[in-house]
């Protein structure tokens, strides 16, 4: 098994430019850590994907866990990793980064691939499922929970009919030691015990229930729940648990459906789909983890090993051809991931009467309160006015995720960002972030993804707090 020392030895400190040419303009995709780019090995002219992360402990852990799993044919390979100082055009000085060279996946994401098939059959869905299950089995045998299993993280090697599908992005993966308390998920793919862990976690913070000596945890079985949802979507083109109400948090009706395992197989799309397929979905979407299929149970299931033709054409390809619908679903997923990542950092929710945040304190004096009467408060820096710079950053997060009803949200956001910048001009991460969001010094010139901004500002707070503690 890959130990941390093994990973450190594997990371090269020589310049990546000695071995690779990087195409800085061609982007394969984009995430919160920035775009994935194309690089070319000089000695062979072979194309690879290049992911660039700030060189931090979290990034090194992602690399370590991915390296541990990457020997499997259904997991995207890491070719090599460089630790270099890189300076982008908008930066005033170089910054330490990890440059992760990975195999190129030319075939695109799962949803996109299905939408390209005029005749995507149940047999093909079964074959894709088997490959995903084999990737998960490999992770789970290494005691790693992926925690972000969704169609966007399943990529095809190329455009050939028999191209393998591979699992990528280990940014939220963790060693499963029975203590995976971090609520990290995308709404349509979230397991009920993740919601239960989140619910208990929030109640404990609010003092509603005493902190349990053995808190409700979730583990690798959540990956299996997510697999069940993915199979359902592949077969019919829509998720089993959905809400008519678009929201930045999981709506109550969707939450109730997930917690009770309430889903159906509507006749219009499911009449031609085999009972074997429905059976594997039912057994994966069990609310109680102990009743859910294990990964070995999935791989042994008749649907994955059937000799029947299963050549019925699925309705999912037709439904997924509507790019606007797919984009809307993916945007909702991205918002939920960002929302959960904010909670992943050291943030607690406190009643309005305890408020130290200047924006919300002012609202309290005016007799108004934000939605749900809560505000974002950092546990480690809770003393009033203990650090004005950090308070100004927290104001930005408050405005991003709890804007006051009736005020001009854009103007208010510009105002609090100006204040945060005034007190944090030396912070490179904040400077880089504002530039990437088209900040001109007085306001944003483009539409802002507020949850993404809030997430990065939380990273700024974390970085600033760590910096202050080390001084």
Interval 162-214: pLDDT, tens: 999 999 999 888 887 665 444 444 444 445 555 555 555 555 555 554 444 33
pLDDT given at position 270: 92
Q: Which residues of the chain have pLDDT under 70?
A: 1-7, 30-34, 177-219, 241-262, 325-387, 401-407, 465-471
284: domain CATH number? 1.10.510.10
Tens digit of pLDDT for each residue in 137-168?
A: 999 999 898 888 888 899 999 999 899 999 99
Return the exposure string of 162-175: e unless at least 16 CB atoms fall within 10 Å of the residue's CB, then b.
Answer: ebbbbbbbbbbbbe
The pLDDT of residue 364: 47
Both 55 and 149 in one domain: the answer is no
Residues 231 and 277 in one domain: yes
- DSSP secondary structure letter of residue 52: E
Same domain, 351 and 428: yes
Q: Are residues 285 and 389 in the same domain?
A: no
pLDDT at residue number 55: 94
Which range marks the domain in which residue 184 is found?
Answer: 108-340
Q: Which pair of tokens denotes residue 112?
A: 């996109």
The domain tally of the chain equals: 3
Residue that finishes a domain, picked among 340, 365, 396: 340
pLDDT at 73: 97
Other CB atoms within 10 A of residue 350 CB: 20
- Helices and strands, number each (H, E), in the chain: 18, 13
**CA-based max dimension of the chain:** 70
Catalytic residue among 148, 169, 176, 223: 148
**H or E element, residue 64:** helix 57-69
Q: For 372-421, write each residue's pLDDT tens digit.
A: 333 333 333 333 334 678 888 888 887 776 666 556 778 888 888 998 88
Boundary residue ending a domain (78, 103, 128): 103
Give yes or no: residues 85 and 121 share one domain.
Answer: no
pLDDT at position 312 is 93
Q: Please check whether residue 251 is in contact with residue 301, taking contact to mean a CB–CB distance below 8 angstroms.
A: no
375 and 465 in a single domain? The answer is: yes
148 assigned to active site: yes
Q: Are residues 273 and 198 in the same domain?
A: yes
**Looking at the whole model, is its pTM more than 0.75?**
no
Q: Within this chain, do residues 53 and 87 fall inside the same structural domain, yes or no? A: yes
At residue 209, what are phi and psi to the nearest 5 degrees? Answer: -130, 150
pLDDT of residue 172: 83
Tell whether 202 and 327 lie within a shared domain: yes
Shared-domain flag, residues 298 and 176:
yes
**Cα separation values, 279 from 298, 306, 311, Å:** 11, 13, 18
Q: Is 111 exposed, middle or buried (0-12, 13-18, 19+ CB in 10 A)?
A: buried
Token pair recorded at residue 426: 């030396």
Decide which of 36, 71, 103 is a domain's last residue: 103
Residues 135 and 222 in one domain: yes
| 413-434 per-residue burial string, b: 16 or more CB within 10 A, e: under 16 | bbbbbebbbeebeebebbbbbb
Query: What CATH number does residue 76 fall under?
Result: 3.30.200.20
Q: Mark whether 212 and 333 lie in a shared domain.
A: yes
């Amino acid at each position: 098994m890959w130990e941390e020392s093994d990973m450190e030895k594997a990371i090269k400190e020589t310049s990546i430019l000695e071995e690779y040419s990087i195409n800085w303009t061609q982007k394969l995709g984009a995430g919160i850590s920035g775009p994935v780019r194309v690089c070319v090995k000089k000695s062979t002219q072979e194309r690879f994907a290049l992911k660039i992360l700030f060189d931090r402990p979290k990034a090194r852990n992602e690399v370590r866990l991915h390296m541990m799993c990457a020997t499997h044919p259904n997991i995207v390979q890491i070719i090599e990793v460089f630790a270099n100082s890189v300076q982008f055009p908008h930066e005033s000085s170089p910054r330490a980064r990890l440059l992760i060279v990975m195999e190129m996946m030319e075939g695109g994401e799962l949803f996109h691939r299905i939408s390209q098939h005029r005749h995507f059959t149940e047999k093909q869905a079964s074959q894709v499922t088997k490959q995903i299950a084999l990737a998960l089995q490999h992770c789970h045998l290494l005691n790693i929970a992926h925690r972000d299993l969704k169609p966007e993280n399943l990529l095809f090697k190329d455009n050939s009919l028999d191209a393998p599908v591979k699992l990528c992005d280990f940014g939220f993966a963790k060693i499963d030691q029975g203590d995976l308390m971090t609520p990290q998920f995308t709404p349509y793919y979230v397991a009920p015990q993740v919601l239960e862990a989140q619910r208990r976690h929030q109640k404990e913070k609010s003092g509603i229930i005493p902190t349990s000596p053995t808190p409700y945890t979730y583990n690798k079985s959540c990956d299996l729940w997510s697999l069940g949802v993915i199979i359902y979507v592949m077969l019919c083109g829509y998720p089993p648990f959905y809400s008519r109400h678009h929201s930045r948090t999981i709506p109550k009706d969707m939450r109730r459906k997930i917690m009770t395992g309430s889903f159906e197989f509507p006749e219009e799309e499911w009449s031609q789909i085999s009972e074997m397929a429905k059976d594997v979905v039912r057994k994966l979407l069990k609310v109680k983890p102990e009743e859910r299929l294990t990964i070995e149970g999935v791989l042994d299931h008749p649907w994955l090993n059937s000799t029947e033709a299963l050549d019925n054409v699925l309705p999912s390809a037709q439904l997924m051809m509507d790019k606007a619908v797919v984009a809307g679903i993916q945007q909702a997923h991205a918002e939920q991931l960002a929302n959960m990542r904010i909670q992943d950092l050291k943030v607690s929710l406190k009643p309005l009467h305890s408020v130290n945040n200047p924006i919300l304190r002012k609202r309290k004096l005016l007799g108004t309160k934000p939605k749900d009467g809560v505000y974002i408060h950092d546990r480690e820096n809770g003393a009033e006015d203990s650090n004005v710079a950090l308070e100004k950053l927290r104001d930005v997060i408050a405005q991003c995720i709890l804007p006051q009803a009736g005020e001009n949200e854009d103007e208010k956001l510009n105002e609090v960002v100006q204040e945060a910048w005034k007190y944090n001009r030396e912070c490179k991460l904040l400077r880089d972030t504002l530039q990437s969001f088209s900040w001109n010094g007085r306001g944003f010139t483009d539409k802002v993804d507020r949850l993404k901004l809030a997430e990065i500002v939380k990273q700024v707070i974390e970085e600033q707090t760590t910096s202050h503690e080390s001084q």
